[in-house]
Structure 1
C-alpha cells in the first residue's frame, strides 16, 4: 500500500514539474520573441572599437546596389509612387517598399516577426510630407537588410538617411551606429529592448547624430524602466514615455498616436535641420 501511494505521489510531482517547466518556457519565449536572433548582437572587443572609430569617416565602401521590381504588398496598393523591390538572391524574403522622393531618407524597420506593412501608415504619411521612405520584410541577415534599405534610398538620390525601428528593429539599429557602411544621421528606437537586441554598452558614446527613444509606460516588453535602461547606453537621446501598454508601431495607432507622431516629427526635423548636417 505504501509503495502504491509513493508511486502515485511521484507521478503527481513529475506531472507538476513538467507543467511548471512548460509555463516557464512559455514565459521566456514571450519575453524574448521580439528580440530576434542571437546572431544579431553587436560585435565585441576590438571590432567594436574599430567600428566606433569608423563613425568619424562617413559612409564609405558601400557595395554597388541593384534590385529588381517586385509585387507591391496589398497595404501599399493605391499609394502614390510606391514601388516594391527584391534584391538578387533573396527569393521569398527581403522585399523592400520605397515611397516618395528627395534628399531626406527614412528607413522603417519592423519588429522581429513584422513585415513591410507594419509601418505602412507612417511611411505613407512621411512620404506625403516630403520624405523619401523605405520599409521592408526582414531578410535572412537582418543587419544587411537595414544596410540594403539604406543603400536603396541612396541609389534613389537621398543624401541623408534616418532610421526608425520598432522593438528588435529599433534595438538592432541602435547597435549599428558604428557601422561605417550605413551610418544614419539619426536613429529612433520605438519600444527598444533592454537586452538581446543588438547593441552593447557604449554603442552611442561616439555617435553625433540625433537619437530618440520612445515607448509606453507599461509595455510588457519595453516598459518605462526598460526604456530608461536602454537610455543609459545613449546619454544624448531624447526619451519620450507615453501612457499605456502599446508596443512599437501600435503606439502610433492608439489613443496617444498624435503625441507619438509629434515626437517622431520633432526628431526628424532636428535630424534634417541645416544645423544637423
Structure 2
C-alpha cells in the first residue's frame, strides 16, 4: 500500500508541480494579427516575439518558436507544419514544449499544423494564445490535445463558448481537479476523446469514466497498463493510442470541414 501511495504521489507531483523554463528570450521582432475566427473573437490582438527553438525540434522543417510578451522565461510556443488543420498540444503541469514532440512531429509530417508549448503564467491564456497563433498562420479549424493537467484545462475551457475548438482530446485528464459538470460537455457539439490507461495511479479507468460523466458524447478509450499522458504514446500500446488519436482528429476535421 505504501508503494502504491508513493507512486500515486509521484504522479500527482509530476502533473501538478512546476519546473523552470530555461530558454533564452527572443528578439524584439513582433508578429501581429487580429483573428475573427470562432474561438478568438473579442480577445486581445495576438503578439509574439521569435524565440529559440527547443533542441527536441532541431532539424524539423517548418518549425519555429515564439515567446509571449509579458512572460519572461515562460510561455514559449513552438509551431510545426502548415495548413488549415490545426492541433494544439498541452503538456502536464510542469511539462514543456518537448513533452509532445514525437506526436507533434508525426502529425506535422502528416499534414497537420501543430503548436506545442511551455506553460505561461495563465494556463487558459496559454491555450488560447496557442490557438490564436495557429489561426494567425492560416489554420481554419483547431483541435486541442492535452495530457493530464493540459487535458483538464482544455476540457474545463469548454464551458466558455467563445473559446471552443472543433475537438478536444483529454489524455489522462484529472477527475479531482477538473470541476466538470454536465454543463461542460452536454452543450458542446464538437468531437471529444478521453484516453487513458486502466491502472494509471492518477487517472485510472474509474477516474477516466468519472470525467466522462461531464462529457456524455465523448469516446472513451482505456488501454492496459499504468502509463500516463504522453508516456502512453511511447509505451507498449502506443500504436493503439495513435489509432485512437488519429481517428479523433479525422472525425474532428471531417465534421468541421477542414
Alpha-carbon spacing, 1:269–1:245, altered in 2? closer, same or farther (3 Å): same
Displacement of 1:34 in angstroms is 5.2
Displacement of 1:112 in angstroms is 0.8
Picking from 49, 62, 78, the partner of 2:59 is 78
Aligned to 2:212: 231
Q: In the TM superposition, what whole-angstrom CA distance separates every residue of 1:119-162 from its partner, at most 9, and x where no partner exists?
A: 00000000000000000001110110000000110111111100
Counterpart-to-counterpart distance in 1, 2:48 and 2:138:
15
CA contact (8 A) 1:62 1:181 kept: no
Displacement of 1:268 in angstroms is 0.2
Counterpart-to-counterpart distance in 2, 1:267 and 1:27:
31
Counterpart-to-counterpart distance in 2, 1:137 and 1:198:
24
CA contact (8 A) 2:197 2:222 kept: yes
Counterpart-to-counterpart distance in 2, 1:103 and 1:152:
12
Q: In the TM superposition, what whole-angstrom CA distance separates every residue of 1:44-80 from its partner, at most 9, and x where no partner exists?
A: xxxxxxxxxxxxx943213211111100101001111
Aligned to 1:249: 230
Aligned to 2:20: none
Displacement of 1:27 in angstroms is 8.1
CA contact (8 A) 2:15 2:94 kept: no
Picking from 98, 101, 106, the partner of 2:82 is 101
Return the structure number with greater helix share: 1
Aligned to 2:21: none
Displacement of 1:195 in angstroms is 1.2
Aligned to 2:153: 172
SS of 1:176's equivalent in the other structure is helix
CA contact (8 A) 2:198 2:225 kept: yes
Displacement of 1:28 in angstroms is 8.2
Counterpart-to-counterpart distance in 2, 1:68 and 1:132:
19
RMSD: 2.1
CA contact (8 A) 1:147 1:181 kept: no
Aligned to 2:13: 33
Counterpart-to-counterpart distance in 1, 2:58 and 2:38:
36
Counterpart-to-counterpart distance in 1, 2:228 and 2:6:
20
Counterpart-to-counterpart distance in 2, 1:198 and 1:94:
25
Counterpart-to-counterpart distance in 1, 2:235 and 2:9:
26
Counterpart-to-counterpart distance in 1, 2:49 and 2:180:
32
For the pair shown, the structure with the greater C-alpha radius of gyration is: 1
- Gapped regions of structure 2 (runs ≥ 5): 18-36
Aligned to 2:91: 110
Counterpart-to-counterpart distance in 2, 1:92 and 1:76:
19
2:58 paired with 1:90: no
2:176 paired with 1:195: yes
Task: Give the alignment's TM-score, normalised by structure 2.
Answer: 0.85
Aligned to 1:16: none
Displacement of 1:96 in angstroms is 0.6
1:59-74 superposed matches below 5 A:
59=39, 60-74=41-55
